[in-house]
Amino acid sequence: YNSSLFRRKNRPMNASTKAYEELLIRLKNTALLASCSAVLEWDEQTYLPPEGAEHRANQLALLAGMVHEQATNPEIGNLLLELESNSSSIDDVFEQANIREARHEYDRATKLPRRLVEELSRVATLSHHAWVQARKNNRFKDFLPWLEQMIDLKREQASATGYQGKNAYDALLDEYEPGATSEMIEQAFIPLRNELVSLVSAIKNSGVTPDTSILTRKYPVEKQREFSVSAAEAIGFRFDAGRLDIAAHPFCSGIGPGDCRLTTRYDEHHFPGAFFGTLHEAGHGIYEQGLCKEHFGTPLGSSTSLGIHESQSRMWENLVGRSHAFWDYFYRPAQKLFPEALGNVDQGAFYRAINDVRPSFIRVEADEVTYNLHIMLRFELEKALISGDLKPADLEAAWNEIFFEYFGITPDTSANGCLQDVHWSAGLIGYFPTYALGNMYAAQFFIAAEKELGDLSQLIARGEFVPLKEWLNQNIHQRGKLFRANRLVEVVAGESLSHEPLIAQLQNKYSELYNL
Ligand code: ZN
């Protein structure tokens, strides 16, 4: 595979090449405008003084309206029709992919009536505010009327955009994971859940409890930053084309070619938060930095799905960052930087502490074994909310019941239960499954990479991260949206989505850690 394949062959300009060039210009201009709001959003999360929030909201609303107008310009529809009627003369798979995905995005954008787009945005802002208060006061009841409105609007959105089959939920899922269906996800989730529930209970009954208190000793913030930056740099995130700043809710924003912003947050008495958070966001960032510059703004220069995006962050965070080999390389520098906290801790004890597994209420703090169960719970519930099988008023009871079934514990408060995540208040329904898809894809890609590169733990233990990073660049990043996620994993790993590599990897690692 070679990115020079992307270069267009020299050939005479006919009507359809002209239409194609025109389409690209329109897509690129829309993306350019959207990337302006990305800068403002990044700034809002990092440096904006509180009093500037209202002015910023006005700026962002104006830009969002302009982006929507450009993205739904009927001229794009005309160009697409022209290209599709000449499709037999387009033999270039890259052009075909750009046209296919541009059509998909154009249809999605134009099928949503402007009134619904505005109503969704208005309710999301108010509902988010209500959620923050309800979570603080631990009162699900206060959030319920907003949840009810949001579910109604999302069902309306699903019927406006349309879907194949019987699940309205699939229309929402498609926004984050194009082409995926709930059926395909269930096929992987059901066996994954059964295996995980028994692994979690075996770990619980093993009698092994790592000493995690070493991770809450004093880790000076400046040193944490220095260490996180050096690790992100080592795995291949480029700081001449990116930054790392502080934000309350860590994220990665690929603003455009040469500019990718990571954020993290530091707690002087919690080592894993900032460190693994930075590795995670750097994994997203390496994907963004690996996209083809010359295709910026078109599907070929964009990430293929959130699930694939998450496979990149999870691979660096967990499969690499929480591996024994990684700390063969990084433990001595860590001890040097944090002599007070780690001076008298051996590498084995540290490795066990960062891989502690135990059922807990909060998703974002969960270990890599229990994490997927948190996702499946949310997937089940949001599917039922959209189908109408579950009334929003019954959400909390349903949450607690399934939580007990999966984890053997019941949330003590609403804030530790169904009110913990921001997603539903913000209208992000259909988003959760992409986290677990990412974990499964990551394990599949990792095996495929080892087939080609040999035992990765040997390379990682020597601090040689370039081969894996370049393999990901070539096999995943540079392809943009050439393939959708389900096809990409077939092309790269030779099999469709599967829970088996992830289960095998977890069983292997944790049998050793917990003497199972
Ligand atoms: Zn992520």
Residue in the structure block whose two tokens are 């800068």: 39
State the distance from the centre of ligand 1 to the C-alpha of 58, rounded, in angstroms. Answer: 28
Identify the weakest region by mean pLDDT among 51-60, 356-365, 371-380, 424-433: 51-60
Local confidence band at 57 (pLDDT 50, 70, 90 cut-offs): confident
Local confidence band at 11 (pLDDT 50, 70, 90 cut-offs): low
State the distance from the centre of ligand 1 to the C-alpha of 113, rounded, in angstroms. Answer: 30
Question: pLDDT at position 117, please?
Answer: 85
Question: pLDDT at position 10, please?
Answer: 53
H-run or E-run covering 262:
strand 259-264
* Per-residue pLDDT tens over the stretch 237-271: 999 999 999 998 899 999 999 999 999 999 999 99
Positions annotated as catalytic residues are 281
Based on C-alpha coordinates, what's the Rg of the chain?
23
Percent pLDDT > 70 in the chain is: 97
Q: Angle of helix 395-407 relative to helix 182-204, nearest 10 degrees?
A: 50
* Per-residue pLDDT tens over the stretch 302-350: 999 999 999 999 999 999 999 999 999 999 999 999 999 999 999 999 9
Q: Which long-range contacts (CB under 8 A, 24 or more apart) does 93-101 make?
A: 93/482, 94/5, 94/6, 94/300, 94/482, 95/20, 97/299, 97/300, 97/480, 97/481, 97/482, 97/483, 98/20, 98/23, 98/24, 98/298, 98/299, 98/300, 99/20, 99/23, 100/299, 101/178, 101/299, 101/481
Identify the weakest region by mean pLDDT among 63-72, 465-474, 491-500: 63-72
Mean pLDDT of 73-98: 91
State the distance from the centre of ligand 1 to the C-alpha of 206, rounded, in angstroms. Answer: 31
Question: pLDDT at position 410, please?
Answer: 96
State the distance from the centre of ligand 1 to the C-alpha of 487, rounded, in angstroms. Answer: 21
Alpha helix (H) residue ranges in 88-220:
93-111, 114-137, 140-161, 169-176, 182-204
Render 127-145 in DSSP notation, one character per residue.
HHHHHHHHHHHT-HHHHHH
* Per-residue pLDDT tens over the stretch 390-422: 999 999 999 999 999 999 999 999 999 999 999
Mean pLDDT of 6-28: 79
